[in-house]
Chain A
C-alpha cells in the first residue's frame, strides 16, 4: 500500500508539473490524450491497489481516482482530454462487452435460465413501474416536467423509468474478474445483467415511440435511426463475430492485439455509423460463445491480460465524467430515485427468485448484482439529451439520471463485492480465466446438466 501511495503521488506530481507548462485552456491533440491515458491508467491502478488494501473494490478506487482527477475536482484530466479519451473508452467498452458476451454460455446456464429470466424480468418490470410512478409523482417538483400535460409527463416518466432501470454488465464483469468469483451467483448475475441490458436498450427504442407520439412528433426518421442503432448494432455484432471466427480459425496469432484492433474499429464505426459499440461487441461475444464452436471463454482467456488496464481506464474515465456541479443541483431527486430504484429492483428480484425457486442461500446474495449502474445508463441518458434536448426536457432528464447513476456507480460495486465475498464465491475462479468460470470444470458441467 505504501508503494502504491508513493507511486500515485509521483504520477500526480509529474502530471501536475507537465500541465503547469501550458496555460490551463491549451490542449495538445495527441499529447493531451496520451498524457491523460497514461495518467488515468497508472493512477487508477494504484488507487485500485489502495482501495483493495482497505477491503473495498478496486473498481471503486478507479472511479474515485477518476472523479478526483477529473474536471469536477482537480482538473488534472480536463474536459478536452476526456473528449480525446472517448475513443479509448470506446475500445474499453468493446473489450468489456466482448468479454461479458463471451462469458455467458447459455449451455452452461441452461439449468438456471428460468431463474435468470424470472429474476431479471421481475426486477426490471418492477424497476420500470416504480421508477416511472415515482418520476410521475415527483413531476410537479421537476422543472423540466412541470409545464407538461399529464400524458406527456407520463411518457417522460416512463422513458426515465426505463433508462434508470438499466443494470451494469461492465461493473458486474469487472467485479467478477477482480474477485475471481465463480459459482451459481456469479453465473446468474452475469446472465441477468447482460440479458437485462439488452432488454432495456430495446425497450428504450419502444418508449421513444411513445414519447414522440405524446409530444405529437411524427418522428419517423428519428425512430428509424434509433431502430438502426439497436438492430444495426446487433447485426454488426454478428459480422464482427464472423470476422473473429475466421481469424481465430485461420490465423490465431497475436489474438489480443487483433481483438484490440477490432474493438477500435467498433468504436470508430460506432461514432461514424451511429452504432453502439457495447451492443456490437456484446452480440459478438454471445454469438461466438453460443453459436460457434469457438469457446468465448477461451477468447476471454486470451484477452485476459488486457482486462485490468481496460477496467481501470474505463471506470476512471467514467469517474472523471461525473459532474459534481450537475449532481449538486439534482442531488435530492437523484438520491431519492436511487433509493426507489434499489427498493424496486430488490422487491422485483426477490419475487422473481421466489417464483423460480432459487435456493435460499443464493436468494440472499443474488439481488446485490442489480444495484450497480454505468455505461448503458450513461449512454442512454446522453441519447435522451440529444434526442429530447430540443423538446425542452431532455437536458433536465439526462442530468437527473446521471446524478442517480453517480450514486449507484459508487454504492453498487461495494454491495456486490460484499455479496460475492460473503456468499463464498469470491476466489473460486481459475486465475487468469474470465469471470464466472469455475476453477474446477466439474461444477460448471454440473450446472449445465
Chain B
C-alpha cells in the first residue's frame, strides 16, 4: 500500500516539474509537442504502474482516478473550444477552406479508410465507427514549430498554419460528436429513445446550454478565485453530464468552450490564461491514466499504428501539394507545410481515450486496445520522424516561402 502512495507521489512531483516553464522553453526552442518532450514518460509510467508486478495503479486506484480522467477530458475540451474564436477566423485569407479540406479532410478520410481495411484484415469485425474515430484522431495537428515561428518572427504563413491547426482540432472533435450520435454507447440502458440525428441536436444544445451557464457563472464571479471555482464546477458538471448521456466530454466541453470564448467578457483573456495554464499538468496526469488503461502488448496494435502513420502522413503530404496549388497564396512550400502539420495534436490521444472510456465493453476491448496503440504509438513515431526529417532539411522554411 505504501508503494501506491509513493508511486503516486513520484508521479505528482514529476507532473509539477514537467509543467515547469523551463521545460516549455526547451519545447519551443526544439519545436516539440508536450507529448514527446514530457508526455511519453508519463505514458510509460502509466503502463509500468499498471503492471501487476509493480501494482501501483491497481484497479481500485484507476477507479478512483476515473473522475479525474473525465474532468481532464472536459478541461481539454474547453481548451479546444476556447481556441475557436470566430473573430480570428474571420481574418483568415481566401481559399483557407481548401487548405483545411486538403490538410484535415484528406488525412481524416485516408486514415479512416486505411485503418478500416487494416482492422478488417486483422480479424476485427467491419466497423465504420472505429474507422471514423481513427479518422478523427488523424485530423488534429500540432504545428509546434509553426506556432513558435509565428510567435517569434510574426511570419504570416506560420501564423496561418497555426490557425489552421485549431480548425484541425475542431474537425476531430466534430467527427467524434458524429460518432457519439450515430453509434450510441448506452442506448440499451437509457430511458430516452431518440433518433440518431436528434442526438446531434442534444449534443449541440447541451454544449450550448453549458456554455451559457459557464458564461453567466464566470460573469457573476466577484474575483479570480471565485471565477476559477465556477470554472472547475462548470467543467466537471459538463464532463459528468456528457458522460451520463453517452456523449464524449471532449465534445460537449468543446462546444461550451467555443460558445464561451465568443461571448463578450472583459476578463476573457484572463479566463483563457487560466484554462491554458492548467492544461499541461492535467494533460500529464491524463496521460498517466491513459497509460494505465493502455494495453500495448498486442502486435496487431503496432501493425495498425504503422498503417495509421503511413496513411496519415502520406495524406498530409498529398494534401499539402494540393493545398499549395488550390489554397491561399502565402503558404510555405508543400514539404514544409506537410512537415508542420504532421505532428499529432494532444487532442488525438484524448479522443481515443474518450472513445475507449465510452465504448470499452468487454467484447470490444481487443479492437479498442489496437486502436489505442495505433494512435499513441503513431503520435510518438510521427513526431520523432518529423523531427528527424526537419533537421535533415535544416528546419522549417516559413520565412523563405513567405518572402
Looking at the complex, which of A32-40, A100-108, A346-354 is the stretch in contact with chain B?
A: A32-40
Q: For the complex formed, measure the closest distance between the CB of A398 and the CB atoms of chain B, giving whole angstroms.
A: 25
A-B pairs with beta carbons under 8 A, tally? 167
The secondary-structure label for the interface of chain A is: helix
- A111 within 8 Å of B by Cβ? no
A41 to B233 alpha-carbon distance, docked (Å): 6
Within 8 A of B (CB), among A417-448: 432
Contacts of A84 in B (CB 8 A): 67
Residues of chain A at interface, number, CB under 8 A: 54
Check B244 against A22 for contact (C-beta < 8 Å). Answer: yes
Q: Return chain A residues, CB-CB under 8 Å to B246.
A: 21
Top 4 A-B residue pairs of the complex, sorted by shortest distance between their CB atoms: A31-B243, A35-B240, A38-B237, A38-B236
* Chain B hits for A41, CB < 8 A: 229, 232-233, 236-237
**Separation of A31 and B243 alpha carbons in the complex (Å):** 5
Is B8 an interface residue, CB under 8 A from the partner?
yes
Taking the nearest CB of chain A, how far is it from the CB of B256, in angstroms?
12
Q: Does A249 contact B (CB under 8 A)?
A: no
- Per-residue CB contact flags for chain A residues 251-286 toward chain B (1 = under 8 Å, else 0) read 101100110011011001100110000000000000
B148 shortest CB reach to chain A, Å:
23
Within 8 A of A (CB), among B259-288: 278, 281
Verify if A20 is at the interface (C-beta below 8 Å from B).
yes
B: number of interface residues (CB 8 Å): 57
Give the residues from 196 to 247 in chain A that come closer than 8 angstroms, CB to CB, to chain B.
243
Q: Does A53 contact B (CB under 8 A)?
A: no
| A29 CB–B CB distance under 8 Å | yes
Most chain A beta carbons < 10 A, residue from B12, B64, B217, B237: B237
The answer on a CB contact under 8 Å between B189 and A23 is yes
Decide: B240 and A258 in contact? CB cutoff 8 A. no
Chain B residues proximal to chain A, CB less than 8 Å: 1-2, 4-5, 8-9, 12, 15-17, 19-20, 61, 63-64, 66-67, 69-71, 74, 186, 189-192, 209-210, 213, 216-217, 220, 224-226, 228-230, 232-246, 249, 278, 281, 357
In the complex, 26 of the A-B residue pairs with CB atoms within 8 angstroms, ordered by the A residue number, are: A3-B220, A6-B216, A7-B217, A10-B209, A10-B213, A11-B213, A18-B245, A20-B191, A20-B192, A21-B191, A21-B244, A21-B245, A29-B66, A33-B67, A34-B236, A35-B237, A37-B67, A37-B233, A38-B235, A39-B237, A42-B237, A45-B226, A264-B8, A265-B12, A268-B8, A309-B228
Asked whether, in the complex, the Cβ of A253 is within 8 Å of the Cβ of B20, the reply is: yes
Q: Does A167 contact B (CB under 8 A)?
A: no
| Most chain B beta-carbon contacts within 10 A, residue among A11, A20, A28, A87 | A28
Q: Check A272/B216 contact, CB under 8 A, given A31-B240, A34-B67, A38-B240.
A: no
User: CA A421 – CA B233 in complex, angstroms?
Assistant: 30
Given contacts A45-B233, A304-B225, A33 and B16 within 8 Å (CB-CB): no
Residues on the A chain within 8 Å of B1, using CB: 272-273
CB contacts (< 8 Å) of A257 on chain B: these are 16, 278, 281
A31 in contact with B244 (CB, 8 Å): yes
Decide: B2 and A273 in contact? CB cutoff 8 A.
Answer: yes
Q: A72-103 vs B: 1/0 string, CB under 8 Å? A: 00000000000010011000000000000000
Apart from A18-B241, A38-B233, list 17 A-B contacts with CB within 8 A. A3-B220, A10-B209, A31-B239, A31-B240, A32-B240, A35-B241, A37-B233, A38-B237, A38-B241, A41-B233, A87-B64, A251-B16, A265-B12, A269-B5, A273-B2, A304-B225, A308-B226
